[in-house]
Structure formats: structure tokens, C-alpha cells
Structure 1
Amino acid sequence: MQHKTLKLSALAVLVAGATGANAAVYRVVEVVPSTETQNAIDSRDYYNEVDKSELSRRLGFYGQGITASNVNEANPEDSDNCFKGINCNVNNYSVFGESRFGSDGINYRDEVPFILDNLQRINDVRRLENYCNSYLGPNTCQDWARTQFYGQGYDTNSLSNRIGFGGLVREYEAWTDNYFSNATAVVENLDQDNQADELNTLVEVSTFADDESTYSASSALGQIVDSEKHKTTNSVINGKGAVDLSEDGSGELTEYILGISSGAYFTDGSRNARQFNKRGFVNLVSSGNPEDKFALAPVEGDKLTETAGQSLAWDAVEYNGQLLVVGSASYDRSNFSDSDNKVPDDYNSGDPVFSDSAFRNCPTSFTEGLDSFYGTKECQLSVFANDGVFWSLKDGSSGNVAAKLLAENNLNTLDPDENDRSFQASARAIELVNNQPVVVGYTTDRYDNDYYAMRASVWELTGDINGETPPFTRKLIPGLELERSSDRVLTYTLATDINANNIVVGVAKNFRAENRSYAERMFVYDNNTGDNAQYLDSSKSNLFFTGSNGYPAAINNNNQIVGRLDAESVNQVNGRFRRQRGFTYIMEPIPGSNTLNEEEKAYFLDDLTNGGQYSDEANKYRIFEATGINDAGVISATAYKCEDGYDDFSKESFCQGGEPDVERIVAVKLIPIDENAEVAPKIEPRPTAESSVERQGASLGMLALGFLGLLGFRRRK
């Protein structure tokens, strides 16, 4: 449980009182994989077509979040505070996320592609390119789409060579060509009982999906492909913590890890198939007990949905002696008749070929028996309607845990006008506000009896969490309407996080270009007042320029936000992808000082790591995405790393003159520097290269250019 007293951010206090000393505000600490984990991932089998010598070089590690800091409810001033050097043991805060070799094709964390696609049609290279042209806009959309589909490093001269790393085409070809894992869940090991050879390193996490016995359709699927050298599941972690699940409330803590895994592939000797595309998971372990691994099942009711449907676990809190996990889950089948949209087309030589009629018969095949369903390649493309759900895990929980709807859904599963769009909703974050759980995410709304669209929403508890009926009431966040005077202005809106002060953050995607960008605008919503959401724009900071793209990944209980933000204002529509960097925004006013402008409350994190004794070390990193922040002020992030340091300290600096293949992607922590340190912290912005215009500089390096295809505008809680 987090302390709920609204207070001035420690960072705001620190920077407001900063002296002329030369020191950074944060130091950068890389979280490296353990030797065992690095070797295990590197040594696994991968596709024969790729250059095996590139595996280790291409392996990147991504920090998705950071565990909570200690909060002293009785005496809040004794709570962990790294800015003030109070109880700040940075080795107690664990980074979690995943490793990747290449592009994911469709984001492992999205219910449907890129949030907006409730038609569920973005499934081949042409539709990926159409999405890019229509909603992103640069003149490099063909390369972006091919990178997503054929993998990073694909052969530009012969698409059928399949030398790319990752890529959506690998899933489509798994039926005949097998499949190899692209993403592996990892977590920073903080176990002080010497359970691992190396502490404070990233270690691999296994899930229920790696165990053949956990699949309900295993007899129809055949024998699991996975072995020590061959892994077929893609897994990512979204949360980690510790809760008291004991029946007597004794205080004995159970550790949990939650996230999302794909199903493993099975073979019957002639084909490879998997039971489902995505499933949420929870791993629980208490002192002295073996680890329990739970599959988070879809909503019970429709047998096809229960068996082949998907689920995604996003966040959790302890409430009334149980772990409440929130996310999304399939509750009904989508439209199998709409094969023109749902079935990928083959546009290039060697692309997989699918049958529209076979796809339309998949529900019928399921009723005839699992052997028929999982014996048909097209049924691997099955699509579903998804809603916001929760799972409840208590002491003594076992087996698969069925999802429960958060709230009543009064819309049809399919859009009544066309029957092609399906209802989609997701719970992305949960927090205890005044000891009651509040959930945020997005839901489907119907506009003008004409179209289904996704809108940011809040779910508040109004019933019995253990009752038979959905216990939450859902409301749409005001001030984010998709239309203005019947004119479409927003494509979708999404709430990404909430803190114990009932402050919600999220994004709203512009329907039309603004300042040569289809901007993803950030907003803040005070759920206490119910007033309209407020955009983070130039009235808050000049970093939030008109048309800038941003993503607020997390907000802590000091109302400090972290995420990613455009670091330049070059034309994106008919231009190129903009370079993005991790940022932080302090919501409270900063008292006047000689050092900072009172209105300047947003900062690129690279500017907060510059200067002082850690400056040379920090110059090895450029932070492109901040993903989590706890109340002690420790930030999780993902960065580009130049092993010998970037060529200079400027924002636009290259790594060794821009040579390819010299940057890596690494997970990092940003540790606040104690204001009582011998040299007091001070914000010292990185210089801008003389040949560049501020916020319109050159791209960072070759990896920064190529990685935009791999990133694919990832959406993260």
C-alpha cells in the first residue's frame, strides 16, 4: 500500500534549491544479464537462415518497470527517498522486462494491433504499411512495415530469404517451418539467500507456458516442441512485487511476477500449432515454498474463447487478502465471416498463403473437435472480442484462474452496423485510492450509431469483489471526446497509469496531422474532481511543443511522470520518424530559483544525467524510453549504449562517428543523487551540436535509425 499524502516532488525541491555546483541529478546504472542468462539465450537454436554470429550482438534488454519502494505509513518522512538519502538501498529496487533479438511484428502487449485496430485487420506487410501511412506518416513506411513483417535486418533485395530477426512472418510460417523465441522475460535478481550465482543481474523467468501439462488442448495439439535448446514462447513482464496473502494476515509476504506469454508450439509430426496467441501469467513464491505458476484464463462461457482466446496481465494490488490482477481477456469470438480483413494476403514471393474459406470454417471446426480446429492452419489466426477483467489469487489458489469482467458491458460484441469491428477493452493499471481499488485503461464506445472506437476509461469499485456480478462501474474520462461538432478529431484515447492520489495519465491520438505529425498527445486527469482531462502542452513546458508525440508510462505518488517524448520537431508526415527520448514531468509548481524557470517542469532524462563525477559513465547512454518510477525516485528505462562513450556530450552525438553495429540496447536504472552529497546535484542540460537546430538535430546513430522499426511505437504501461 502506498502513502497517499500529496507532497511536493523530491526532484522539484532538489532542483529548485540547486546551487552552482557541477553534478548530475541522476546516475545511470546498467542492469546486465547474468552470465547464465546471457549464455542460455545466446546458445538457443534460432532460424538457420540468419547469421548466428549476430545473435549476441543483436540481443537487447528492455527495462519495463521498477518495483515499489518502502513506504512508512506511520511516519511518511521515514519512507525511502533517494533524493534525500533516506533508506535508499538501490539494490532493493528490481528492474523487470524482457530481452529481444528482433522486431515483434505486432506488439506483444497489445490486445489488437496498435490499439486502434478493432477491425483486427493489420496482419500482413501491406496492411502494416497502410497503418504507417495513415497514422504515422513518414516516407519510410515501406521499410518500417517490412521490418515489422520480415524482421530486423531483412534482405532488401530478396524478401523471401528470411534472414531477418523476429518479424510477424515467422509466426505465419511456424506451421511448416517451426518457430523460435524472440522475446524472453527477465527480472533483476535481488535474492539475498544466494539462490543465484550473481545478484543484481537480469535472470530469465519461466512461466506456465513452458510446461506441456498446463495446456487444456495438449492432446489435440500433439507434443510440445520446446526443449533446453529450442524455446517457442515469447514472454514479457509487466509487474513485480510482494503481497501478504496469508489467511491470518500474518505479514508473511508472497512475491509475484506477472506478464504475458505466447503459447508454446506443439507438433503432431506434420505441422506445428499453438493453443492460443497470448496468455497472462502470474508466478507466486513465498519463503521456503516452491514457485507456483498460474495461467490467467479468458472469461468462461464460450468454449472456443476459453480454449483459444487470449488474455493479458498488466498490473496488480493487494486487496482484502488477495492479489487482484487486472488486464484484458477474450470473452467472445469475433467475426470469422470477415475474412477479407482477418486473413493475411500473400503479396511477395514466398509469403505464406491462407485460405479465406478455411478461416470462415474455424468455429465450425472447433465444434467438430479440437483435432479439426488445431489441424487447420487458418485457425491459428483466430480473433476475439476482449474486455477489461480481473483475476483474484488467494492463499491456496491453484491451476488456471478464470477472468471476471470488471463491469457490465452494454454494447454488442460486434458493431451492429457492419458486424466487422469487435468490442475491445483493457485494464492497464490498478491502484488503491483511499484503500479502494481504482482501475484505468480503455474501453469501446459507439459514436453516432456509426463506428466503434477505443476511449480512455476509469473503473471504480461499487460492488462485491467476490460476488457473482461485475463489481466495478466504468466511466469515460471527460474532455477526450473523439468528435468535435461531429468532426472526428481523435483516433483513440488510452489511460496508461494511476497513482494513489487518484491522478490518471494517458494518451490521445490525433485523427489529423498537426505540425506535420499525427501526434499522440499526453494528458493528465484528476479523478477526484472529475473535471476535463488536461493535455500536457506548451502551457506546461516548452518540451511539449504543438504536434509532439509522447507517452506517459508511469506516475508515482509524488506526482512525477516518466515516459518518452519527441526530442525534435522535424516533419514526420512525408518526412522521417522523430527521435524520441525518455523524459520526466513534475506536476507541482517549482519554487522560484536562480537556476530554473518556474514554468520549466519537464526534462529530458539525458539532461539530468550530465555533469559531475558520473558524467563520463553517463555519456555511454542515451535514454530513449523511461518506463517506471517508484516513490523513492528510482526510474527504470531502456537506453542505447555506446561502449566507449558517445563522441561528445551533445544530445545529437554519434557513437564512433555513426558506425553501424556499435550501439546496443540495454536496461538501466536512474538513481537519484543525494542532495547532501559532497557535490550537490544540479541540472546541466546537454549541449546542442553547433550544426543542429535545437529540437531538430540529427539522429543519434545507426542503431537509433534502424531501431524505430523494432520499436514500432511500442505502447507500455
Structure 2
Amino acid sequence: MRHKTFTFSTLAVLIASATQAQAAVYDIVEVSGDSSGVDALQYYDKNTSELTDNVQFYGQGISQSSGEKCFETSCTAANYKVFGESRFGSDGIDIRDEIPYQLDNFQQINDQWSLERYCDASLGFNTCDSWANTRFFGTGYNTDNPEDGQGFGGLRKEQFAWRNNYYANTLPMLDNGSDAFDRVTTFANSATGYDAAVTPSLGTLVDGGDQVSANGAVSAVGSSTLGDYALGVTSSAYFTQNNRYARQFNKRGFVNLGSNMVSLLPIAGNDLVKHTGQTLATDAVEFPAGNLLVVGSAAFSPSELNNNIKLPDDVPISRGDLNNCKTKASNPAQLFGTDQASWACQFMVFANDAVFWNVDGSTNPEAQRLAARPSDRPALDPDDSNRSFQASARAVALVGESELDKKPVMVGYTTDSVDNDYYAVRAAVYKLKEGVDTTQPPKADDWTFSYIPNLNIESGNDRIYRYTIATDINGQGKVIGVAKSARSEERSFAERMYLFDVNNNTFSWLDSSVSSLFFQGSNGFASEINDNGQIVGWVDTETVNQVNGRQRRQRAFTYLSGSDVVTDALPAKSAWLLDDLTNDDVVGGKANQFRIAQATGINDAGVISATALKCDTGYKSLSKSAECEGDERLVAVKLVPRVDATVQPRVEEKETVSRKGGSIGLVTLSLLALFGLRRKR
């Protein structure tokens, strides 16, 4: 028999007795995939009827507002569009990351063994074998024969597409204004979107009807005088020729601007970079008027192409030599040929820099560097050429005291040469240099960068952080980000969150001094901050050991970092789990069908985008950890503020018997993959 106890804080009891009718602070609106048709697509040899149960929808951001304040005046949910992606299973390595898991300057996390080794060293779970297998062989893989292809998604399917054909796992999605998703098509879904000098060598495009072969994800949407835009990253579609399937590039930034589909090209120069180099688009602002300033990252040089590191174990070196790809680079017929040696060229990796593109929709622009690299930061680490330089602009905002003074400020990361000994990723801010003509589109090296203080990779000779990254910036110059601890603290390699002000150079941690929500050793991810200073993200909600233990449960949070009152229900400087703010105190109600897993975006109106667990039959109780005895799946949602609402915290449910039932299975594995994500910002 299961025994449970419920605990209420005094505040919760008082609120519960006084304000039952207006308990929830946010209404939950699901953005469904009903109109997208992704569950009708072909997925390897699986019966399409299975896909309806396995496709998951992820909310990664929310469209901006136009002056509305939804805590003051009721807002219509359909006016705010969630963007993100759908997935059929695990993606192996996040399509939005320049390098695997943000710390792999060696670029060697590319097979089951290297995934497991990363998990052991950086996460510490005692289930790293299962963690790695899910990412490599796919969600729900056959444990008796992992290579039989039964798993949904997985890195291995991409690696063996050369002989096995390929069906996309991750598809870009955008709210169509009716709280339903449409699939976004990009230049990559049409043969005309590729260089005409390359496509004859690639063969015939495989991307149409019920088969899509280009993965993709939307990272930002917005409006400009040039038209509405959506941007993000896509892979090349696959092309077939003489019984082989090849793609031109692994990742390429896209912008859909009005009716124009734009491909964002790498930094000009090297032929191998030109043909196969990766780019990522992360954010944009209109600056100056009539110019869409898109930021992100782009390849500028091949990495050291050491086959023992760069090729996956399951792809023998005898089938190709990456260094030979350099000599083939000027001839697409050789680079994308049908011989076994060309297979290796599908695994090219690059040094990447923080860049921008000036986009007007008429051409496919080449990337321009944001800032000149220091002289001691060449493409390859001078002390170990297997490491490569990596940098990225993850977000941009127009910052200034008045509208006339506003200039773009980018945040993200660059490579620090630590003690002239090794390369490491470190959080950075990019600004325009003094005297730059702001009436004209910016040019390469019009920018300067600086490190965010208090985030040194080392202290003395001790490694403190594996990486530090800035994830977002608002119009007041407030920056948020994360720092991944190199050492175990409270049995966890914690990912700490911070807040930095570029205007007065002040820095603070989001830790227990701010709220008990951010306890010592907790893992969190600060995803976005709006102009009101409201931060959203996700954080650990339990203290179980992760090192030599299991992955902790995480849930979405919001923190009111500003001094102004956004709503009386959420005082300034307060932090909350969003599960507490979406509780309407009705067990059989709509709100109790959801638990908010990750909050990924927030606009100035206060509307939040998120990915949630949904129990179609409703959770058994109002507790944060309540069971679902029916189907449980991941869905995209928007959280719309209520006017004059109050907080009804969910009860804490303590169990003396380990949980069983509906939460175990494919959705649990998908959720573990979700918590491995690092959003674009």
C-alpha cells in the first residue's frame, strides 16, 4: 500500500482559504501539432500510426509584444506565437550548439563511447550507459540489439545515412495564430536553395511528400520594416546518387524574411568552409532601419582533422580520410562523390567565430566577424591542435538610455586561452566600437568584445568552470547566463546561473542568497529575460545525488529580478516554480493536466513559452510530483498572465514507496533528452 503525506506552508493555507476562484497566476494554453502534419510523415520503417504517440513538441520561445501588459489588461493568447520544434525521439547532439554540449573544443563527442565518457566526467550519473545509448541509438531503442534501428531518433541514424537513407527527426515549428503549429520550410527543403555548382555532385534531393530529410529548429521570430521573419538552424537535406545519401553541410542558419528564404553562408575564404562549413542563426534586431541584423556563429577554418578523434568509432578510417577532404574541397564532384572515401567528408568539423549577417532578403549573405580574435587565439590551439577556437553570439538587444541612443549589444561566448595552456569557452559581451557610423549597416570588426567578470575558467591553477556562457540580454543591458562547475559540489557538477549588468558592470549569482529555490549545488538554466527584468528558465527541484546517482527532477521557474512591481501576486525579487503559478486548485481541471518542465522564453507582455509534461487524463493530485496513470507526453505551451490573480502553491507530496506507473517509458526518456537541451539564447 502506498503511503503519502501532504505538507502545506502557513502562507499556502491562508491563500487557499481566501482566494480559490482566482488561484492561478497563469493560464496554460497548449500549442498543438494538429495542423502540422508531422505525425503523417514517414519515419524509417515504422508504422505511421506509432508516430502520433511518439512525436513531441517543444516550445523554445515566444513572439514579442507591442506594448501590452497582460497582468494589467487581459490578453488574447493567439496574439503571441510560440516557436520551436517537433521531435520523434532523441537528437543525440543539440542542433543549436556549435560544439557538442558546449564544452567539446576537441569535437570528439560523436559516438556511443564518447557520449558515455562525457556523461561520466561531466554529469556523473550511475546510468550513463543508458543515457548515452538513448542519445546514440534513439528513444526506445532495442536493448537486445541497439543497432537494429528501432529507436526513435539517435545520432547513429545520421551517421549511417550514407547507406541507409535518412528521415528527419527534428522539424522547425511555428504557431500559426490559432494555438496550433505549422511546419516551417526553409531554403534547405528545395534543391534551388543550394549552390548550383554543388547540387549536380550531390545528386537528387530527397525531401518531399511524406519524407523530410532536413532537420531544423526555429530560434527567433519578429517583425521589421522588411517584413516578419523567422530564423534558426537547419541541416542540409540529403541527396541521393548511385545508392548513397549525402548532405552538403551539417548545420546552416536560415532566415525566412517575408516571402524570401535566405541561407546564411559561412565566413568567406577556405573552399572546404565554403562548401561544408556550418552556421547558426540565434537572434536578430532591425539596425539600422531597413537592415535585419542577424547574429550567431559561423565556421571560418577546418578543425584539426585527426581521424582517431573526429570520426566516430563505427565509421572505420579505411572508409575515408578527413584530411583528404581538404584536397577535394575545390572540386565538389570529389568532395560529394559516391566513393567510400567521400563518406568521411560528412563528418567535417570546424573552428567557429561569433558573427553577424546584414539581411535584406535579396541575397544569401556571407558571415562577418563580430570582433577580431586576439593574436594568441588562432583557429587551432597552439598547445594542442586538436582543440579549436569556438565563439558565438547567442542573443542581441538594442540598449541605450533613449530610442536615439539605442545600439545593438550581443552576448554569448568566445574562446579564452587559459594560462596559455588550453582553450576554453568563456562568457562575453560584444559592443560597437566608438565612432562607428550607426546610420549604415555594420561591417566586420566594427565590434569589440569583453569577458563577463567573475567567470574566470581557473582560480590560481585550479579549474573552476568547464564553460561559461551568456544566454540572453534585455533592452536595459541586463545579461543572464550559466557557468558549468568543473568540480562536484553537493554531489552535482552544478550549472550555476548569474545576472550581469553591462551598464554598471555589476555581477550577481542566482543562488540561495536570492531564493531557497536556487540551493547550493543545484543545476539551473537561465533562458530569457524581458525588459521588466523577469527571468525564466529551469532548475533542480530535488537534492538527490547526481554524482554516482541519478538525474534530478527539474522544473521551470521565474525570477522577478527588477525593482518594479510587475503584479501584486509576484513581488519584486521573488522566485517561483511555474507549477505553483499555474495551479488553479482543481484536481479535475485543465491546469492539472500539465507540469511545466522548461520555461524557454518571455516577452514584455509577460507571456511565457514553455515545454510541459501533459497527462491527458489529469494527474492524480495537485502535487508537483503527482503520478499520471494515463498517457504522458511532452507538449509546447504558452503561459498567459491573469489579471488580479493570486498564488496557490502546489502541495508537497512525500512518498515512502518509490514511484511506478505512467511516467516511466518513452516520455521519461524524451524528458531526459529535453533536460540536456541548451536553448538558443
Q: Distance in 2 between matches of 1:24 and 1:42?
A: 33
- 1:322-337 counterparts in 2 under 5 A? 322-336=291-305
Q: Deviations over 1:261-312 (max 9, x none)?
A: 0000011122110000001101111xxxxx1100011111112101110000
Gaps of 5+ in 2: 1-14, 401-405
In 1, the alpha carbon distance for the partners of 2:179 and 2:60 equals 16
Match status 1:138 vs 2:134: no
The 8 Å contact of residues 257 and 283 in structure 1, kept in 2 or not, is answered as yes
Aligned-partner Cα distance in 2 for 1:594–1:317? 32
Report the alpha carbon displacement of residue 707 of structure 1 after superposing the two structures with TM.
2.4
Contact between 2:557 and 2:576, CA under 8 Å: does it hold in 1?
yes
Q: Does 1:206 align with 2:185?
A: yes
Q: Give the count of matched residue pairs.
A: 645
Match of 1:510 in 2: 485
Counterpart code for 1:654: E
Q: 2:586·2:592 contact (CA, 8 Å) conserved in 1?
A: no
- Asked if the contact 2:587–2:622 (Cα under 8 Å) also holds between the matched residues in 1, the reply is no
Hey, what does 1:195 align to over in structure 2?
Answer: none
Q: Cα gap change, 1:210/1:519 in structure 2, threshold over 3 Å: closer, same or farther? A: same
Q: Tell me the equivalent position of 2:8.
A: none
Task: Give SS of 1:379's match.
Answer: helix
The CA deviation at 1:54 is 1.9
Change in CA separation of 1:539 and 1:700 when aligned onto 2, cut-off 3 Å: farther
Distance 1:214 1:588 in 2: 45
1:630 to 2:606 alignment: no
Deviations 1:587-619 (A, max 9, x none): 13599x9999x8971110000011257982111
| Mapped pair 1:229 → 2:193 | no
- Taking a change above 3 Å as real, the CA distance of residues 479 and 699 of structure 1, as seen in their structure-2 partners, is farther
- Offset, 1:343: 1.1
Residue 370 of structure 1 and its aligned partner are, at CA, apart by 1.2
In the alignment, does 2:221 pair up with 1:240? yes
Say which of 364, 381, 391 aligns to 2:327. 364
1:65-214 matches, within 5 Å, as 65-71=61-67, 80-85=68-73, 88-190=75-177, 199-214=178-193
Q: Secondary structure at the match of 2:18?
A: coil
Unaligned stretches of 5+ in structure 1? 1-16, 72-79, 191-198, 246-253, 286-290, 347-351, 676-680
8 Å contact from structure 1 (residues 188, 200) kept in 2:
yes
2:515 matched to which residue of 1?
Answer: 541
Q: Which residue of 2 aligns with 1:53?
A: 49
| Amino acid in structure 1 at the alignment position of 2:292 | L
Matches within 5 A, 1:198-597: 199-216=178-195, 217-245=198-226, 254-285=227-258, 291-321=259-289, 322-336=291-305, 338-346=306-314, 352-355=315-318, 358-367=321-330, 369-375=331-337, 376-394=342-360, 397-410=361-374, 411-434=377-400, 435-462=406-433, 463-464=436-437, 466=441, 468-531=443-506, 533-588=507-562
AA of the residue aligned to 1:586: L
1:207-242 CA deviation, whole Å, 9 max, x = no partner? Answer: 000010121111111111112121100110011111
CA distance in 2, matches of 1:111, 1:510: 20
**CA–CA distance in structure 2, aligned partners of residues 365 and 46 of structure 1:** 33
Contact 2:532/2:564 (8 A) holds in 1 = no
How far off its partner does 1:701 sit?
Answer: 2.0
Q: Deviations over 1:436-481 (max 9, x none)?
A: 0000001001011100000000001113464554111110000111
CA contact (8 A) 2:173 2:183 kept: yes
Counterparts of 2:328 and 2:472, CA distance in 1: 40
Counterpart contact for 1:515–1:546, Cα < 8 Å: yes
Q: How far off is 1:654 after superposition?
A: 0.8
TM-score (structure 2 length as normaliser):
0.91
Tell me which residue corresponds to 1:642: 615
Q: What CA distance in whole angstroms lies between the structure 1 residues aligned with 2:80 and 2:350?
A: 37
Residue 601 in 1 paired to residue 574 in 2? yes
Judging changes above 3 Å, is the alpha-carbon distance between structure 1 residues 477 and 644 closer, same or farther for their aligned structure 2 residues? same
Cα distance change of structure 1 residues 594 and 150 upon mapping to structure 2, 3 Å threshold: closer
Distance 1:215 1:637 in 2: 34
How far apart are the structure 2 equivalents of 1:181 and 1:140? 28
SS in structure 1 at match of 2:453: coil
Amino acid at match of 2:72: K
Q: How far 1:399 sits from its partner (Å)? A: 3.0
- Give the 3 Å change call, closer, same or farther, for CA 34–212 of structure 1 in structure 2: same
* Whole-angstrom CA distance in 2 between matches of 1:414 and 1:366: 19
Q: Supply the distance in 1 between the matched residues of 2:158 and 2:542 (Cα, whole angstroms).
A: 35
State whether residues 91 and 155 of structure 2, in contact with CA within 8 Å, keep that contact through their aligned partners in structure 1: yes
Kept in 2: contact 1:19–1:682 (CA 8 A): no
Letter in 2 for 1:68: Q
> AA paired with 1:388?
A
Aligned mates of 2:562, 2:17 — CA distance in 1: 20
* Residue 688 (structure 1) aligned with residue 652 (structure 2): yes
**Match for 2:676: what amino acid?**
F
The answer on whether the counterparts of 1:699 and 1:705 sit within 8 Å (CA) in structure 2 is no
Do the aligned partners of residues 132 and 699 (structure 1) sit closer, same or farther apart at CA in structure 2, a change above 3 Å counting?
A: farther
Contact 2:320 2:344 in 1 (8 A): no
Contact 1:625 1:637 (8 Å CA) reproduced: yes
Q: Is the 8 A contact 1:24 1:615 kept in 2?
A: no
Q: Which residue of 1 aligns with 2:638?
A: 669
Percent identity over the alignment is 47
Instruction: Mark the CA change 1:306 to 1:243 in structure 2 (over 3 Å): closer, same or farther.
Output: same
Amino acid at match of 1:664: R
Task: Look up the SS of the partner of 1:104 in the other structure.
Answer: coil
CA distance in 2, matches of 1:578, 1:590: 33
- Cα-Cα RMSD: 2.3
Q: Indicate conservation of the 8 Å contact 2:628/2:661, yes or no.
A: no
Q: 1:652 aligns with which of 609, 613, 625?
A: 625
What letter corresponds to residue 307 of structure 1 in structure 2? Answer: H
**SS of the residue 1:296 aligns to:** strand
- Alpha-carbon spacing, 1:691–1:457, altered in 2? closer, same or farther (3 Å): same
**Secondary structure of the residue that 2:321 maps to in structure 1?**
helix
Q: Which amino acid aligns with 1:626?
A: A
SS of match in other structure, 1:625: strand
State the Cα distance separating 1:705 from its structure 2 match: 3.3
When residues 174 and 511 of structure 1 are mapped into structure 2, their CA distance, relative to the original with a 3 A threshold, is same
In structure 2, relative to structure 1, the CA distance for the partners of 1:547 and 1:47 (3 Å cut) is: same
Paired residues of 1:305 and 1:333 also in contact (CA < 8 A): yes
1:146-179, Cα deviation, whole Å (9 max, x unpaired)? 0000000001111221100000000111000000
1:620 aligns with 2:593: yes
How has the CA–CA distance of structure 1 residues 169 and 636 changed in structure 2, closer, same or farther, with 3 Å as cutoff? same
- What is the aligned partner in structure 1 of residue 677 from structure 2? 714
Distance 1:417 1:633, change over 3 A: same
Amino acid of the structure 2 residue aligned with 1:179: Y
Question: Normalization by structure 1: what TM-score?
Answer: 0.87
Give structure 1 regions of 4+ aligned residues with deviation exceeding 4 angstroms.
593-596, 612-615, 696-700
User: Is the 2:124–2:546 contact (alpha carbons within 8 Å) kept by the matching residues of 1?
Assistant: yes
Distance 1:572 1:699 in 2: 23
CA 43–611 in structure 1, closer or farther in 2 if over 3 Å, else same: closer
- CA, structure 1 residues 292+589, in 2 after alignment: closer, same or farther (shift >3 Å)? closer
- Kindly indicate whether the alpha-carbon contact (under 8 Å) linking 2:398 and 2:475 is maintained by their aligned counterparts in 1: yes
Secondary structure at 1:682 match in 2: coil
Cα displacement (A) at 1:663: 0.6
